[in-house]
Amino acid sequence: MEEENKLPLHGVRVLELGTLLAGPFSGRLLADFGAEVIKVEPPGKSDPMRDWGKKKDGVGLWWPIQSRNKKSITLNLREEEGQAVLKDLVKESDIIIENFRPGTMEKWGLSYEELSEINPGIIMVRTSGFGQTGPYKSRAGFGSVAEAMGGLRYVTGFPDRPPSRIGISIGDTLAALFATIGCLTALHERERSGKGQIVDTAIYEAVFSVMESTVPDYLLTGYLRERMGNILPGVAPSNIYLTQDGTYIVIGANADGVFKRLCEAMGQPELANDPDYATHDARGKNMKELDALIERWTKSLPAKDCLLLLEEHGVPSGMIYSAKEIVEDPHYQDRDMILSVDHPELGDFPMPGIVPKLSRTPGKVNHPGAEKMGKNNDEIYGDLLKYNDHRIEELKERQII
């Protein structure tokens, strides 16, 4: 591969030991940008993600997205012989991703201390519900629990109803994003020190990190942010508004200059100077009345005409998209955000594009992941580790791989 055509993480080898969401999502992000990600599954017991989501012709539709660009091997880490094989792989790798309950790797004789003796440059990315230390470290911790204890569930939903969840596994995804940032940071630092380190990401902490000013609001003013539906406290106008054809649109015009442009789009420029709405604080105090004024206007127009007017005046606004609107939107298509990847069983397979966009060395999706467990066993154990055919067959017979 010519140097200028290499992806940014070309030459970085990752062992992905985790299952389900948080760990494997980090692996997906690294693989998108060229890392060689080797997905490890126990022989005879696949990652449950292979069966999650809707199915087409018996094929799970979530797995090809989560496992794209990855290689697949089988390895039994519960057995000493399997642990020895992993140590051989660690010698040839840069990063380990795992999201087991804390203490599991240590129980298997695969602690960071033991592995770093084999490879001092190894980076271990560890994602768990509550982190590797603290009184809760041994608790089982799914993303749903972390969303609750990180504070997100408490403020999600409407005030007259119980706490709600967001319609995706946001806790796991946030943890994966923070873990990937930590991984790349450690990888960069290693260039200077030559040493690896542990990246310890707790899912509840990843959620808590995006909770804005909720803690100082409470500790310094006694204000406890509650569920408020589609609004944020003190931020107006920023809500959903019904239009003439029964469609809801989102308008965000909470900055003074943008609010002035919204008033002009509504044909009511005088509202921008009304003392009840002229400042951020005033709009926050009078948001209910202001939202009613705006919705009176949006109800007078079809959604398309309303959005066109708002766009002409530079007011942030948009439809509330389902998957149907997403796949039909020309902007998504122009920015390659719906990729079509060849799947060995399903043919053209649509999946989300790569984020972020790099101008010179953008990421790439080469394939939708291994549809069969252990597809790359011969390549990894034979070509990479130089195990001979007899050794590989023995490992298979003993159900180590």
> Has 160 been annotated as catalytic?
no
Q: How far apart are CA 369 and CA 70, in angstroms?
A: 5
Tell me, what amino acid is at 195? K
User: How far is C-alpha 359 from the chain's CA centre?
Assistant: 22
Q: How far is CA 128 from CA 98, 120, 125, 258, 399, in A?
A: 9, 23, 10, 42, 28
Q: How far apart are CA 295 and CA 239, in angstroms?
A: 10
Q: Is residue 225 a contact partner of residue 294, using CB atoms and an 8 Å limit?
A: no
Cis bond before residue 237 (omega within 30° of 0): yes
Q: How far apart are CA 43 and CA 374, in angstroms?
A: 8
Token pair for 180 = 């990937």
The residues, ordered by sequence, that sit 6+ positions from 388 with a Cβ below 8 Å of its Cβ are 382
Token pair for 188 = 């960069």
DSSP 114-127: HHHHH-TT-EEEEE
Token pair for 70 = 């990855």
End-to-end CA distance of the chain: 31
> Of 172, 276, 334, 342, which one is the catalytic site residue?
172
Q: How far apart are CA 383 and CA 280, in angstroms?
A: 63
Q: How far apart are CA 201 and CA 130, in angstroms?
A: 8
The side-by-side arrangement of strands in the sheet containing 71-74 is: 71-74, 36-41, 13-16, 95-98, 123-128, 198-202
Enter the DSSP assignment of 254: -
| Catalytic residue IDs | 172
